[in-house]
Amino acid sequence: MTGGGIDIRGIRKVFGPDPGGVVALENIDLDIKPGEFVSVVGPSGCGKSTLLRIIGGLTPATSGSVAVFGDPVIKPVTECGIVFQQPILLEWRTIVENVLFNIDMRGLDLAVYRPRAVELLAAVGLADFADKRPYELSGGMKQRAAIARALVHEPPLLMMDEPFGALDALTREQMRLDLERIWLATKKTVFFITHSIDEAVLLSDRVVVMSPRPGRVETILDIDLPRPRGFAARESPGFAEAARTVTNIFLARGVLNQRPA
* Mean local confidence (pLDDT), 195-220: 95
| DSSP-assigned beta bridge partners for residue 160 | 83, 192
- pLDDT score of 146: 93
SS3 140: helix
Q: What is the total residue count of the chain?
A: 261
Report the C-alpha gap between 11 and 111 in whole angstroms: 41
Q: What is the pLDDT of residues 143-156, one digit of tens each?
A: 999 999 999 999 99
- In which element (H, E) is residue 144 found? helix 139-151
* Mean local confidence (pLDDT), 252-257: 79
Lowest-pLDDT range, 26-40, 48-62, 171-185, 190-204? 171-185
| Choice between 36 and 165, residue whose per-residue pLDDT is larger | 36
Backbone torsions φ then ψ of 155, nearest 5 degrees:
-75, 150
Q: Is the pLDDT of residue 258 over 80?
A: no
- In which element (H, E) is residue 30 found? strand 22-32
Residue % of the chain over a pLDDT of 90: 73
Q: What is the pLDDT of residues 11-61, one digit of tens each?
A: 999 998 878 899 999 999 999 999 999 999 999 889 999 999 999 999 999
Reported CATH class of domain 37-44+75-252? alpha beta
Chain centroid offset of residue 65 CA: 20
- Read out DSSP for 189-213? EEEEEES-HHHHHHH-SEEEEEPSS
- Reference 113, options 127, 99, 128, 126; nearest CA is 99
Where along the chain do its domains lie?
37-44+75-252
Q: Is the pLDDT of residue 127 over 50?
A: yes
Q: How far apart are the first and last CA of the chain?
A: 54
Residue % of the chain over a pLDDT of 70: 97
Decide the pairing of beta strands 217-222 and 6-15: unpaired
pTM score of the predicted model:
0.91
Calculated CA dihedral for residues 247, 230, 32, 88, nearest 10 degrees: -90
Report the C-alpha gap between 46 and 254 in whole angstroms: 13
